[in-house]
Amino acid sequence: MNRVAIVIAALVTFGVGVAAIILGQNLILPLPVAAERGAGVPWYLTWGMVWVTVLCAIALGGFLIASTVRRK
């Protein structure tokens, strides 16, 4: 794979991380509303899964960027 394709793939991966945060903010109820409905623990679990997805996207994007560095 050439460097341009790898950098584009890394940018798309970072975009997936940003999209996960934006979707989480728009689709997951605020904590006070969720706690009122008795869904406090699922709220924490859902946000935990969102943040794990974001961290995986950052790690994969970082790995892709690091793979473009030339070694002598």
* Residue 16 resides in a domain: yes
- Residue 71: inside a domain: no
Answer whether residue 45 is part of any domain: yes
Going by pLDDT thresholds of 50, 70 and 90, the confidence category of residue 72 is low
24 belongs to a structural domain = yes
Summarize pLDDT for 12-39 with one digit per residue, the tens. 999 999 999 999 999 999 999 999 999 9
pLDDT of residue 47: 96
Q: What is the pTM of this model?
A: 0.85
pLDDT in tens, 37-58: 999 899 999 999 999 999 999 9
Structural domain range at position 20:
3-66
Q: What are the counts of helices (DSSP H) followed by strands (DSSP E) for the chain?
A: 3, 0
Number of separate domains in the chain: 1
How far is it, in rounded angstroms, from Cα 22 to Cα 49?
14
- DSSP annotation of 39 reads -
In a domain, 12, yes or no: yes
In a domain, 72, yes or no: no
